[in-house]
Amino acid sequence: MKRIFSVASTALVLSMSGSVLAEGPRVLDVASTFPKGAPYLGEGAENLAKLLEKATKGEIKLRVHGDGDLVPALEVFNAVSSGAVPAGWDWVGYWAGTVPVAGLAGAMPFGPSPEVFLGWMWEGGGLEILQKAYDEYNVKVLPCHLTAPEPAGWFNKEINSVEDLEGLSMRISGLGGKVLNKLGASTQLIAGSDIYVSLERGRIDATEFSLPVLDQNMGFQDIAKYYYFPGWHQPSSWNSLIINKNVWNEYTEAEKEQFMVACQANVTWSMQVVPGEQGKALAELEEGGVELKRFPDPVLDELRRVSKEVLEEEAKKDPIFKEAYESLTSYMETAQDWQDLQELSR
């Protein structure tokens, strides 16, 4: 399997010193789309920095800068593409306006579970398709952080029917926003650091952001009453390290492999730290007066129907999106056969 390293080869990569042939930056500045030190999402870049430093025996380090420290959050991709900054840390879907397939690779509405998305990205051809799109912008992409299913978001009114979505002003990223727009909502992408103020001042009626622990840390429970599930728009999602290709090509082949090893180790970290904390956060939110609710089945059915419509429309607009959509859908169908056979009865 092309990206699974044997113990021997990994040990060889990690033991090689890059000091003789090294040309790439020893300290790589990384502009994050998330606030410095933000739990989980921002923290993922910091953890990757530790793993890379360990893999390279201290020879390559990432210096992570928070949202706005070098460039505004939603300008990170363009800054890396132009070389204004050498590297960035992002949610992949932020760049869908520039690279359409990034919307799908970031998160697919009603899409794959984390383990299936992981398989497609690293073993099923997903990364090759994504990189093909990024090549046009002189950007190397390394999906290094996989997020578990997220909630559907925070609302200041109950959603009992599809009609309740009409006229709703909501912060939501990616393809999920296009789905809601088709159902009469008005959506916009707002950087994480600006969401609280937008919701507090009534500029938006609802928002989604991340996992319960991080949403709690953002303080949304202070200004929104209803916390809806399931996260239909992001059953799983990717964050990535992006590097200007001129910079990436300065590294030796051994160093590039060290980046990959650290990246894959960070994916494991991103999955293992999630499960234990979410239940505790939800319990605390409920104790504080937040109502945990699930969208009614008719609402979910309509969201699913319109999601398929949006995905098919996007596939018609862009050939790389189409390639990725067909590839991912096929991979999901194959994986589902396995999952169905393994499902335990309750």
**How high is the pLDDT of residue 213?**
92
Q: Where are the domains of the chain?
A: 7-147+235-275, 153-234+277-315
| 8 A C-beta contact, residue 3 and residue 36 | no
Confidence of residue 7 (pLDDT cuts 50, 70, 90): very low
State the CB neighbour count (10 A cutoff) for residue 188. 14
Q: 7-147+235-275 belongs to which CATH class?
A: alpha beta
Smallest CA-to-CA distance from 250 within 89, 117, 87 is with 87
Whether the CA torsion 92, 325, 234, 343 is positive or negative: it is negative
Average confidence (pLDDT) over 341-345: 78
- The domains spanning 7-147+235-275 and 153-234+277-315 adopt the same CATH topology: yes
Select from 255, 260, 249 the least CA-distant residue to 59: 255
Q: Is 112 helix (H, G, I), strand (E, B) or coil?
A: coil
The dihedral of CA 88, 180, 330, 96: what is its sign? negative
For the chain, give the mean pLDDT: 92
Two structure tokens written together for 245: 């290709």
- Residue at token pair 């794959």: 112
**Prediction pTM value:** 0.90
Q: 153-234+277-315: which CATH architecture?
A: 3-Layer(aba) Sandwich (3.40)
**How confident is the model over 229-277, as pLDDT tens digits?**
999 999 999 999 999 999 999 999 999 999 999 999 999 999 998 888 8
pLDDT at site 345: 67
Given a contact cutoff of 8 angstroms between Cβ atoms, the answer to whether 35 and 193 are in contact is yes
Q: Answer yes or no: are the C-beta atoms of 211 and 40 closer than 8 Å.
A: yes
Report d(CA 66, CA 89) in Å as an integer: 9
Question: Can you give the length of the chain in residues?
Answer: 346
151: tokens are: 């909630």
